């Protein structure tokens, strides 16, 4: 699952859990006052207000692991107070915590927080044993059943996250080459342009087009064409720097998003990167005995650029290089300069 989607999921869960917990605490205020336990009712009021505040905190701090701190802390306080009633049923509320905290903060942190709650329960069962069972039996029953609940919650959350990660991969990656697919690349480029508007920094796009790719498919078959595309993607990944992103726009056309100027210090600008890509592609050997060259177009982001306008300038630079004989790099000029 994408990070923003995961954060939204955890935030909604934290808000809902905190709100339900707050309402439960407020409901128990009247119950405990009727039972003649004003101190417990006062604690219920405090926990209810704290959980209500946590719902607001979770909404304002989306994605923060701190959103689980108050529910876990509140549960520990509840167990300490409820345990003094010596009723085994008081510990049932703790069983909702393993699936809740793992969904809120992930399997690893959730496992640790669940273990903390278990230690508190076991300590209370030893210090203030329930009237239904002796301390050893109570600790064994609660401990074993809670561990099973925790294990099932951990396995479920791991499987859910793995499944969502696979769905995310399938929705954003090109099956053949492993590069970002067209939609994902355009989304990444749009995000980079928005970030550049807020914090100006160099940003360029490189378009890569395999020369005479149709001839490869027609002469040696589509399997050979697929091998060429996979090799080009592998070469690009080996050359790209940290933070550069590779996408396949369709057919034999790839694109690279890089945070560097189109032209600048030799060896560190986008034009130099494009030339290294061209050289590495030209050096590839294929089983069908042929060689492949690529033509590339480079364009730097300018003020007011959109995804389409930036890609269009890189595309024009690419086709200018193709008209000059292929196996080359074209660099778009500054559009403001005419």
DSSP string, 22-74: HHHHHHHHHHHHHTT-HHHHHHHHHHHHHHHHHHHHHHHSTT-GGGGHHHHHH
Residues of the chain with pLDDT under 70: 1-7, 9, 58, 61-70, 265-267, 334-338
Q: Tally Cβ neighbours within 10 Å of residue 63.
A: 15
Looking at the structure, do residues 99 and 37 belong to the same domain, yes or no? yes
- Residue that finishes a domain, picked among 119, 151, 172: 172
Among 252, 269, 305, 315, the one annotated catalytic: 252
Question: 253-258 and 294-300: which strand pairing?
Answer: unpaired
pTM higher than the cut 0.75: no
Residues 130 and 231 both lie in one domain: no
- Domain co-membership, 254 together with 119: no
Active-site residue flag, 252: yes
Q: Is residue 177 part of a domain?
A: no
How far is it, in rounded angstroms, from Cα 118 to Cα 109? 14
Tell me if 73 is assigned to some domain. Answer: yes
Collapsed DSSP state (helix, strand, coil) of residue 128: coil
What CATH number is given to the structural domain containing 293?
3.30.70.270
Same domain? 151 vs 234: no
Number of domains in the chain: 2
Can you name the residues that pair with 180 across neighbouring β-strands?
173, 247
Residue 189 within any structural domain of the chain: yes
81/226 Cα distance (integer angstroms)? 66
Whether residues 223 and 154 fall in one domain: no
Question: Does residue 312 share a domain with residue 281?
Answer: yes
How far is residue 142's CA from residue 150's CA, in Å, rounded to a whole number? Answer: 12
What is the pLDDT at residue 337?
42
Q: Which domain holds residue 36?
A: 3-172
Pair (156, 195) in one structural domain? no
């Amino acid at each position: 699952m994408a990070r923003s989607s995961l954060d939204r999921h955890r935030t909604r869960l934290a808000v809902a859990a905190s709100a339900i917990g707050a309402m439960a605490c407020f409901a128990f205020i009247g119950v405990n006052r009727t039972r003649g336990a004003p101190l417990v009712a006062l604690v219920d009021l405090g926990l209810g207000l704290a959980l209500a505040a946590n719902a607001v905190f979770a909404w304002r701090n989306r994605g923060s692991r701190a959103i689980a701190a108050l529910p876990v802390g509140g549960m520990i306080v509840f167990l300490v107070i409820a345990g003094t009633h010596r009723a085994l049923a008081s510990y049932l509320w703790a069983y909702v915590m393993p699936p809740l905290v793992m969904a809120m903060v992930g399997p690893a942190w959730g496992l640790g927080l669940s273990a903390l709650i278990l230690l508190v329960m076991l300590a209370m069962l030893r210090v203030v044993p329930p009237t239904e069972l002796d301390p050893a039996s109570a600790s064994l029953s609660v401990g074993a059943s809670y561990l099973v609940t925790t294990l099932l919650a951990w396995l479920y959350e791991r499987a859910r996250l793995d499944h969502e990660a696979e769905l995310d991969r399938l929705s954003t990656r090109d099956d053949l080459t492993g590069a970002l697919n067209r939609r994902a690349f355009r989304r990444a480029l749009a995000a980079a342009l928005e970030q550049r508007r807020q914090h100006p920094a160099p940003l360029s796009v490189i378009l890569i087009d395999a020369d005479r790719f149709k001839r490869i498919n027609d002469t040696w078959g589509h399997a050979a064409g697929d091998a060429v595309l996979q090799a080009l993607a592998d070469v690009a990944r080996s050359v790209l720097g940290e933070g550069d992103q590779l996408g396949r726009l369709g057919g034999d056309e790839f694109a690279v998003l890089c945070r560097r100027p189109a032209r600048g210090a030799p060896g560190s600008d986008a034009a130099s990167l494009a030339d290294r890509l061209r050289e590495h592609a030209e050096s590839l050997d294929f089983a069908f005995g042929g060689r492949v060259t690529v033509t590339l177009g480079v364009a730097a982001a300018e003020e007011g650029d959109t995804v389409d306008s930036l890609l269009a300038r890189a595309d024009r630079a690419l086709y200018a290089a193709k008209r000059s004989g292929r196996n080359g790099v074209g660099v778009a000029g500054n559009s403001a300069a005419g």
